[in-house]
Amino acid sequence: MEKTQNTTLQNPLDKYPKPPYPAQQQEFPGLASKMDPLPDHGEKSYVGSNRLQGRKALITGGDSGIGRAAAIAYAREGADVAINYLPAEESDAQEVIALIEEAGQKGYAIPGDITSEDFCQRLVEEAYEKLGGLDILVNNAGRQQASESIADISSDSFDATMKTNIYAPFWITRAALPHLQPGSVIIATTSVQAYDPAAILFDYAQTKAANVAYVKSLSKQLGSKGIRVNGVSPGPIWTPLQVCGGQPAEAIPKFGETAELQRAGQPAELAGIFVLLAANEGSYATGQIYGAAGGMGHP
């Protein structure tokens, strides 16, 4: 029987697990499959309606978290999807490819480190060749490591965060532009940290503010070319980013409890925003930042 969208009213307070969450930490970059509770990326809940039929998407950080939710949703909306991720995340990535193929679409796994300019160039070219085109680019991959003091952030760690969160979107976008036709879209994952930065996320918050500026400036460059550029600004979302150094270990059990909805968000709760921004129905949205933060943040 074909799945149908659940239209029953759902109380957002009770829709997903609330704190306290089990104490847990993983080695960077972390795996969604080892989290407790398991994040919801829409594996069982997202129902598509052919809104992206025939589209070709490249998503960085597509193995888990928000990128995985976007990949599942895009495939169920009719798009072929290439995902990038670190080699250590291979097991999560293969789960995503299986879900893309289960939706009847082509899925391509392209592992590699986007802190390398050369790899970013190869990533775009490989995605373009395998997909047979490219019209949706989602710069989602991010690096977040909490530190109590600026004095605790090494230059190497600072550099890795900057290269992952700022340099890589620049390199990937520059490489992708020759392939993007009018009607194509670019989407960046930003954060509430761009607007209300936490003391422990000094370097990460700066990169997220830069991502907002990336959206605002690039949308002005590309609007006349018919290419839309937008951003999604999550709040506290239950992803491996948090349990492999993105939050202090002692903060995990209460993660998200200060949000108005009293819990962490799930990646699946952002999937619809990524679909809207990629679909033709969102054709008048460019230079915008869409928030999903459980009552926190500013967009």
The residues that are catalytic are: 204
Q: Tally Cβ neighbours within 10 Å of residue 16.
A: 18
The residue behind tokens 């400036």 is 217
- The answer to whether the beta carbons of residues 175 and 152 sit under 8 Å apart is no
Contacts of 285 (CB under 8 A, 6+ apart): 228, 230, 276, 277
Residue 137 β-bridge partners: 58, 186
Amino acid (one-letter) located at 253? P
- The answer to whether the beta carbons of residues 30 and 240 sit under 8 Å apart is yes
- The answer to whether the beta carbons of residues 234 and 292 sit under 8 Å apart is yes
Amino acid (one-letter) located at 135? D
CA distance 288 to 299: 9
Q: Tally Cβ neighbours within 10 Å of residue 248.
A: 12
CA-closest candidate to residue 165, choices 199, 216, 205, 217: 205
